[in-house]
Amino acid sequence: MNVYRVTRFEVSKLFRQRIAHAGFIVVFLVCCVYCVINWMTRPVGSYSGVMIITDNISFQNSLLILPFLAILVAANSVSGELSSGTLRTLLTRPVKRDNVIVGKFLAEFLYMCLVVYGIALLSFLFAIRWGFPEDFISFIPRLLLICLVYVLINMILAAFTFVVASQSTSIALTAFASLGFYMISMLVEFFNKIQTYMFLNNAQTLFQMLMGGPFELRSTYFSVGVILIYTLGLLLIASVLWEKRDIRS
């Protein structure tokens, strides 16, 4: 089975799982509650339709809702299936193990895109109350990129979860370790000497530029490069570890 067929299989399997359904429900309920609270407390003219969209996504990311969802889905996709024997059955078929990991990663990437862009779309419906600036149409590409950066941040956590899952069949232990990695990454942001190379700091740089801050081409390339190195590097490590993993253990 090639990567495309494995990804199709993983997408179909992921979107049938209860944890994926629960994730959609929780995220969109929080989104609605956040918008309703702002509807009741912020009169027209005191807020921007653009801000309700970006603030809603940022709010869910800050509350660890999106990171925890990305981690939990990834942990269930690997550790959960390994402990139940489902993954062992798949890995005994004529399919490369790295294709399985890449397929699971792409399936979750699609899932997280639907979650984040779904929040943006739902927030947009509420944001009509406050209206949009005249240049909103030209801002839409930036808004889409902002959503993509949030997706990539959480896919780094998913890739790290795959690494941990290569050594553990416990969903709880895998999720706890990955959440710890995220918390440590946030704490490291306070150390100036290494924050330049942390993915969260570079994501924040991209957010500031996409929201209308000073645009520097060199900084953009550097920040995008750091985020991609984290994502692809962790995915590569996960693939190598899974190649060496004894699936009978």
Does the pTM exceed 0.75? yes
Query: Residue 195 falls within a domain, yes or no?
Result: yes
The pLDDT tens digits of the residues spanning 39-60 come to: 999 988 888 899 999 999 999 9
H helices present in 76-96, as ranges: 81-84, 86-91
User: Would you say 50 and 136 are in contact if contact means Cβ atoms under 8 Å apart?
Assistant: yes
Whole-angstrom distance, CA of residue 247 vs CA of residue 55:
43
Number of domains in the chain: 1
201 lies in a domain? yes
DSSP 193-206: HHHTT-HHHHHHHH
* Percent of the chain whose predicted confidence (pLDDT) is above 70: 91
CA separation, residue 194 to residues 40, 152, 189, 213, 228 (Å): 42, 20, 8, 23, 17
The answer to the question of residue 31 being in a domain is yes
The one-character DSSP state at 230 is: H
Q: Is residue 123 part of a domain?
A: yes
Q: Is residue 249 part of a domain?
A: no
**Is the pLDDT at 189 greater than 90, yes or no?**
no
Residue range(s) defining the domain that contains residue 24: 3-244
Query: Which residues are within 8 A (CB) of 109 and not within 5 positions of it... i.e. 6 or more apart?
Result: 151, 155, 158
pLDDT (tens digit, 9 = 90+) per residue, 128-174? 999 998 889 989 999 999 999 999 999 999 999 999 988 877 888 99
Is 92 domain-assigned? yes
